[in-house]
Chain A
Amino acid sequence: MERSFLEKSSDIELRLLIEAIYLKYSYDFRDYSGASVKRRVAHALRQFECATISALQERVLHDPAAFMQLLQFLTIPVSEMFRDPSHFLAIRQEVVPLLKTYPSIKIWIAGCSTGEEVYSMAILLREEGLLERTIIYATDINPASLDKAKQGIFSLENVRAYTANYQQAGGQRSFADYYTAAYDHAIFDKTLRENVTFADHSLATDSVFSETQLISCRNVLIYFNKKLQDRAFGLFHESLCHRGFLVLGSKETLDFSAYNKHFEPLVKQERIYRKS
């Protein structure tokens, strides 16, 4: 047999690790984009000081705390408030007027990470007079990120950039109205999250839990392969009401998905779609 047909030991070990995690902890990384998972496990190996992926597998199988640590490497938590300001501006200008026609609104922020996107959305909705009649479901698979999201405390160092984002996103007030500064942190107004439910939910293994009018799933789907992306799109399609809105990250698209024909672009450039 030609050498290249034999799988490398490390590739075999990687598959076994992912399988072990699924069997033991029900976290399903089997259909994530392979190149990135491989790099993140390689990175975790160095941090855990394990010589092989098999050694890492043994650790996480027998030590749930070690698995929780590994989860921090397997998920990519990077976020910002009003990330891609033009995207939030488009939501304000193109989506909000239509949302205003609903007596009550349910929004699902899937893969909310540490909450920056949730607070951004809440601020936007408050300024548009919609927050009081909105319920936001903010979900993620990483419990540590969800805990952080629930607190709504972000580093003051980043708030300067967030302020610029907020203004470019059509913010109507002084951004400082929404937080109090304490030492090097910005503590966000807790009334912003009065109608937010933070919950553990996986797009890979869980099902739809509510009907929604808008779903925002940004910078999550790039980490999935096509099959898992389609699973997620299927959940979104099922959850969204007739003519509901789906918003994706700036590099994510329905173009290569089987669900393409079930959605139409509302603001294509900003990845805002509508269920057709």
Chain B
Amino acid sequence: MNDAAANPMCGIEAIVVGASAGGVEALLSIFGDLPQAFGLPIIAVLHLPDERRSQLAEVFARRLQIPVREGQDKEVIQPGTLYFASPGYHLSVEHDRSLSLSQEDRVHHSRPAIDYLFASAGDVYGKRLLAILLTGANQDGAQGLAHVKQSGGITIVQDPDEARIAVMPRAALALHTPDHILTLSRIASLLASLESSPC
């Protein structure tokens, strides 16, 4: 099948995803086929124009087969669940594999920041992390993705030619060479095959 689904993927413990403008559609297309029994936690930062209220979790819960929630402070990360960062708060992964929220300054005008989620997850999961950066109109995520790579994790950038807005993927590519540059449909099939791929 997908050569990317070969060995390095079999030890993956968690997935982090970042997106900005155009992100809702992109996330729906990569998560749309995940089976109800998908076993890995997915933690996502999606920038939204309005910091106050978000219906992201509700919208995705209706469209996906896996459980979807806003990540709560000090919540222990559950397998097979998609967590979204709350608007207005940074979301991080802690060493005891729980989530934490914070209100430090914005990064690239963004809070939640993809950089913070990715870097903290990279510190915790090391090579057992898969990080995916998608469409977006700013540079958030590029440094975080490079940090994931340095920590031994696997990095994927959406093919900028396909991305609704290519600024974010291109900023990431300018900083480091990811393991894979893929279209959304290839990312979707890679995710779906993650667990079925023999280790």
Please list the residues of chain A having a beta carbon within 8 angstroms of any beta carbon in chain B.
4, 33-36, 38-40, 76, 78, 219, 221-223, 225-226, 229, 251-253, 255-257
What are the residues of chain A within 8 A of B94 when measuring CB–CB? 33-35, 225
Question: Which stretch (B27-35, B67-75, B180-188) binds chain A?
Answer: B67-75
Task: Report B2 CB to chain A, min CB distance, Å.
Answer: 26
> A39 to B116, Cβ gap below 8 A?
yes
In the complex, which of the residues B95, B103, B104, B116 contacts A34, with contact meaning CB atoms closer than 8 Å?
Answer: B95
Please list the residues of chain B having a beta carbon within 8 angstroms of any beta carbon in chain A.
72-76, 86, 89-90, 92-96, 98, 100-104, 116, 119-120, 123, 126-127, 152
> B152 to A36, Cβ gap below 8 A?
no
> B127 to A4, Cβ gap below 8 A?
yes
In the complex, which of the residues B73, B100, B104 contacts A40, with contact meaning CB atoms closer than 8 Å?
Answer: B104
> A35 to B120, Cβ gap below 8 A?
yes
Task: Report A18 CB to chain B, min CB distance, Å.
Answer: 14
> B100 to A33, Cβ gap below 8 A?
yes
A225 to B75, CA, bound (A): 11
24 CB contacts below 8 A, A to B, read: A4-B126, A33-B92, A33-B94, A35-B92, A35-B100, A35-B102, A35-B116, A35-B119, A35-B120, A38-B120, A39-B119, A76-B102, A76-B103, A78-B103, A221-B73, A222-B73, A222-B100, A222-B102, A225-B100, A226-B74, A251-B73, A256-B75, A256-B76, A257-B74
Pick the 7 closest A-B CB pairs, nearest first: A35-B92, A35-B120, A33-B100, A36-B102, A256-B74, A222-B101, A222-B73
A223 to B126, CA, bound (A): 23
A252 to B66, CA, bound (A): 25
Q: Given A33-B92, A251-B73, A256-B74: A226 and B103 within 8 A (CB)? A: no
